[in-house]
Amino acid sequence: MERLINELLRESVLKNPLVLSAFKAIDRADFVPKEKTREAYQNYPLPIGHGQTISQPYTVAFMMELLDPKPEQKILEVGSGSGWQTAMLAYIVEEKGKVYAMEIIPELSEFGKANVAKYPDLAKRVTFSAHSAENGLPKHAPFDRIIAAASLREIPDAWKMQLKIGGKMVFPLRESIYVLTKESSEKFKKEVFHGFVFVPFVKK
């Protein structure tokens, strides 16, 4: 894991001390299928079944840097998959924070939950949900941060409504990564970063 982290540092993608600390604390090898353990520290995506992947570490680091998660925040994660990013977010939000991890494929939701359970203190900070994220999680809104791991065709209005004013949303749209910062109930600041590939967002 140290070699992978050093590679990400050389590429200047890991800068935020909290994100860097999470990468050091949470071992990617704990979140890949057993037959892929030897490849866990390679900087590329790996299949986790059901047509899904654990994302390339570079991409995960890039998106988490953009998200800028902080202690005590409430975060909605869409497409939690293997649970690797889930665990890192739980590490960053600390004991008073909360991560709501949504994964539409039940088997993957259970896979991610079992992986996060390898870190018992972090598992207490995570609530897993195995259904469509199209409508967000209104009963737990508003969220300080929202992050999606699968490529969208459009941003669900529910996500915009469930984001706190001052909050950030990071998500893939086609082959780009977007950052929306909510400045008021109707106004969002948009940033776009091109050149990424993601698995598609599954609605049902």
What is the pLDDT at residue 150? 78
Q: Please determine, for residue 146, whether its predicted confidence score (pLDDT) is greater than 60.
A: yes
Length of the chain: 204
User: What percentage of the chain reaches a pLDDT higher than 70?
Assistant: 96
Close Cβ partners of 8 (under 8 Å, ≥ 6 residues apart): 14, 23, 43, 57, 58, 61
- Reduce the DSSP state of residue 168 to 3 states and report it: strand
- CA–CA distance, 204 with 197 (Å, rounded to integer): 21
Among this protein's residues, is 109 annotated catalytic?
Answer: no
Task: Give residue-wise pLDDT tens across range 45-84.
Answer: 999 999 999 999 999 999 999 999 999 999 999 999 999 9
Is the per-residue pLDDT at 198 higher than 60? no
User: What pLDDT is recorded for position 151?
Assistant: 76
pLDDT in tens, 81-135: 999 999 999 999 999 999 999 999 999 999 999 999 999 999 999 999 998 899 9
Q: What is the mean pLDDT of residues 159-169?
A: 97
Of these residues, 12, 55, 80, 184, which one is catalytic?
55
Supply 135's token pair. Answer: 């409508």
CA dihedral sign, ordered 29, 33, 36, 42: negative
**Which domains, and CATH codes, for the chain?**
62-194 (3.40.50.150)
For position 79, what pLDDT does the model report? 93
